[in-house]
Structure 1
Amino acid sequence: MTAAEPKRLLPAGTAARWPLTALDTGALPGAMPPGLRAGTLRLGVLSNANSGHNRRKLGRLEALARRYPHVVHLSTGHGDDVREALAEFARHGIDVLAINGGDGTIARVLGEILERQPFPARLHIALLPGGTANMTSDRLGVRGSLPRAARRLFEWTGGTGRDACPVLNRPILRVRFADGRDNAYGMFLGAGAVIQGTEYAHRTVHARGLRDNAGLTVAVARTLWGLRRGDPRFSRAVRLSVTADGREFLSARPVGVLMVSCLERLFLGIKPFWGPGEGPLCSTVIGPSPRRLFRSLPWLLAGRPTVAMTETGGYRSCRAYRLGLHLDGTLNIDGELHAVDSTNGGVTVDAGGTFNFLRL
């Protein structure tokens, strides 16, 4: 197989399955990102064949990759395929790893790199928007639609039009379960109405063809409206206890929404975090009946608390290096759902590692 030839880890025509159990500052400017050599860069592209946009556009991406001798493209399905693909990229000695998939795909691949360490050194990462939900690539990835972003990345790594490329150094959340199951990784963790919003998105929004920011916006708006009206489909509270760096932050209270992220800004640039403290983990808890939710919404999404957004009003936010969560219910980690039980010891969330993302 030459470097330009795509290799499939799935038989042709097979439908892949993908069971994942699992402020933009700090940019490093420069014509050549630190740690990358001049000239042509060997690029490995890992595509999730089941991700939203890839179901329709993967063939075009494969045809494009064949035109660039420095590009190795692998199409994967389930978790074991990811491990095999990363090992093959390591054998090719790639300089940059591109992940073509949604939020769950990105989380799975980055987690696999941290857990297995298949490469002798940490690679630069390029994210392509191939998924149904592309919040992570929207904030950290290559700009543009999937074909346009791929072409720009292929030409840039090939040395054509090698202009300045900011590098964003960002951590990734690591979620450790006290019951001993495998660690999960991601950029966003949610509970409460986030779960109902995710179910609504899968059931209604994505089924109508709305993806990316448009789909996320519709799902979030419907969830907020459900909270405002007390709709039981969106306002099922969960009892939650939280510790932040070993200190009690919340003690066995019903909450409507929990959000944790190492991205200070989420899709469309919203920033629903404002609390004190240090550390890479931003977290916000909103009660089941928050005071003046709709009136406070513009400031909530901008991370600028109003006089109504207090602890007694049902709003709390903080930063930390480590969070302990105890609840009975479900966690959403980059779109993948994980059932948790407080009697088994809860979960611990911290930064599992950092990556350099090429922001082309």
Structure 2
Amino acid sequence: MVAPSRIHSLETGTARIGLILNPLGGQARKRHHAIKQILTELPDILQWEAINASDFDASVKALIQAKIDWLIIIGGDGTFQGILNRLFAWLSPNQWPVLTIIPGGTTNMTALDLGSRDKPDHILQRLKHYLQQPAPRPAPLLVERPVLCIEQTGHEKVYGMFFGLGMIARGVKFSRSRIKQTGITGNIFTALVVLRSLLGTFLGRPQPEWAPAQITTVDEAGVKHQENYLLVLVSALEQLLMGIRPYWGQESAPLHVTFVRQHSRKFWYSIWPLIAGHGHSLKKEHGYVSYNTQMLELSLEDEYIVDGELFHASRQHGPLRITTSGPITFLVL
């Protein structure tokens, strides 16, 4: 949780503010001129542009050294994921600034879940108006979310808001090489990725790029179970892109987990309940499982995604362990 002094500085107008812009994000590219114009009108904000790993390193380190109270990120899920991992690596939780995500990427799942649903330049106009208000300012709208922490022996920890396996990872990999080059963004981009994944499943493609994920899990009794899954998702968000909520567990725990087994019964009839938040009608014996948990361990040899970024898990390094960190505090404009 963010230190109370950060919140006080926002309300009194004394906050030190930093901003990182990824100008190559899908929405940021489309609104580039308007974004740059507004940013020139905010000279008191320490501003950085970041498009690659070295840029992220330099900008986050500079903003930490400046002891900012509020960090504004204009970018998509991948940009936020990159900055998030550096913050966890270099700052203790009580030193974190308040975060704001302005949706500037091709996909903006975290920003949308937090309530930031407008064009980036429109949100920046609201930021400008907020900063022009005399102190004391109205109390800001703050939202807290836990963060996924993915660990495997021999690898650095990966932090993010959404983890996906199977057709989710296959679809994202395909999108990075094909659809993304068209410049399509937002929900249309997401719909095309999902459609391509479903077509690969429907056609029964034997190619590795559409193979199910083979996963070994261990139950509470210590018994191992190996199964093939069309998809596995783990999220700390309340809803995903296009407003879907494909999990229906009732347990009081921060990780939302859903498994869909290969050859699950009535898969095509089950797509709508899955994406419309009516998964409670789906049955475990038919291949649909969803629950909330504090921790998940998976043994696999496959690719997975975290917030749209691809990683690889190997059985030789032991199980992939997913827990939560945080919560972290967001300010929504």
Q: TM-score, normalised by structure 2?
A: 0.87
Within the alignment, does 1:256 sit opposite 2:224 as a pair? no
The code of the aligned residue for 2:319 comes to G
Q: How many angstroms apart in 2 are the aligned matches of 1:248 and 1:323? A: 13
Within the alignment, does 1:282 sit opposite 2:252 as a pair? no
Cα offsets for 1:22-73 (capped at 9, x unmatched)? xxxxxxxxxx967733235432111124333334544543332221232221
Judge which range, 53-62 or 190-199, deviates more.
53-62
Structure 2 counterpart of 1:20: none
Q: How many angstroms apart in 1 are the aligned matches of 2:269 and 2:116? A: 35
Structure 1 counterpart of 2:141: 166
Within the alignment, does 1:54 sit opposite 2:65 as a pair? no
CA contact (8 A) 1:65 1:72 kept: no
2:299 to 307, 313, 326: 326
Secondary structure of the residue aligned to 1:319 is: strand
Alignment of 1:168-207 (within 5 A): 168-178=143-153, 180-207=154-181
Structure 2 counterpart of 1:292: 266
CA contact (8 A) 1:194 1:257 kept: yes
Cα displacement (A) at 1:238: 1.9
Q: How many angstroms apart in 1 are the aligned matches of 2:116 and 2:45? A: 16
Q: How many angstroms apart in 1 are the aligned matches of 2:8 and 2:205? A: 51
Q: How many angstroms apart in 1 are the aligned matches of 2:284 and 2:92? A: 45
Alignment of 1:11-30 (within 5 A): none
1:128 to 79, 102, 106: 102
Cα displacement (A) at 1:120: 6.5
The code of the aligned residue for 1:292 comes to K
Cα displacement (A) at 1:254: 0.8
The code of the aligned residue for 2:119 comes to S
Q: How many angstroms apart in 2 are the aligned matches of 1:160 and 1:219? A: 46
Cα displacement (A) at 1:338: 0.9
Name the count of aligned residue pairs. 326
Structure 1 counterpart of 2:71: 97
Judge which range, 199-208 or 143-152, deviates more.
199-208
Q: How many angstroms apart in 2 are the aligned matches of 1:289 and 1:112? A: 40
CA contact (8 A) 2:109 2:241 kept: yes
Secondary structure of the residue aligned to 1:278 is: coil
CA contact (8 A) 1:264 1:273 kept: no
Structure 2 counterpart of 1:359: 332
Cα gap change, 1:226 to 1:119, in 2 (>3 Å): closer
CA contact (8 A) 1:70 1:158 kept: no
The code of the aligned residue for 1:181 comes to H
Structure having the larger proportion of residues in helix: 2
Q: How many angstroms apart in 2 are the aligned matches of 1:147 and 1:176? A: 37
Cα displacement (A) at 1:175: 0.8
Secondary structure of the residue aligned to 2:245 is: coil
Structure 1 counterpart of 2:112: 138
Structure 1 counterpart of 2:3: none
2:40 to 51, 63, 66: 66
Secondary structure of the residue aligned to 1:327 is: coil
Residue ranges of structure 1 left out of the alignment (5+ in a row): 1-31
Residue ranges of structure 2 left out of the alignment (5+ in a row): 1-5
Cα displacement (A) at 1:349: 0.8
CA contact (8 A) 1:286 1:314 kept: yes
Cα displacement (A) at 1:316: 1.0
Within the alignment, does 1:116 sit opposite 2:120 as a pair? no
Secondary structure of the residue aligned to 2:95 is: coil
The code of the aligned residue for 1:317 comes to S
Cα gap change, 1:204 to 1:350, in 2 (>3 Å): same
What is the Cα-based RMSD across aligned positions, in Å? 2.7
Secondary structure of the residue aligned to 1:68 is: coil
Secondary structure of the residue aligned to 1:144 is: coil
Cα gap change, 1:256 to 1:292, in 2 (>3 Å): same
Cα gap change, 1:144 to 1:248, in 2 (>3 Å): farther
Q: TM-score, normalised by structure 1?
A: 0.81
Cα displacement (A) at 1:250: 7.3
Secondary structure of the residue aligned to 2:234 is: strand
Q: How many angstroms apart in 2 are the aligned matches of 1:340 and 1:285? A: 18
Cα displacement (A) at 1:119: 8.7
CA contact (8 A) 1:201 1:216 kept: no
Structure 1 counterpart of 2:284: 311
Judge which range, 80-89 or 214-223, deviates more.
80-89
Cα displacement (A) at 1:350: 0.9
CA contact (8 A) 1:90 1:119 kept: no
Cα gap change, 1:218 to 1:165, in 2 (>3 Å): farther
Structure 2 counterpart of 1:273: 247
Cα displacement (A) at 1:183: 1.1
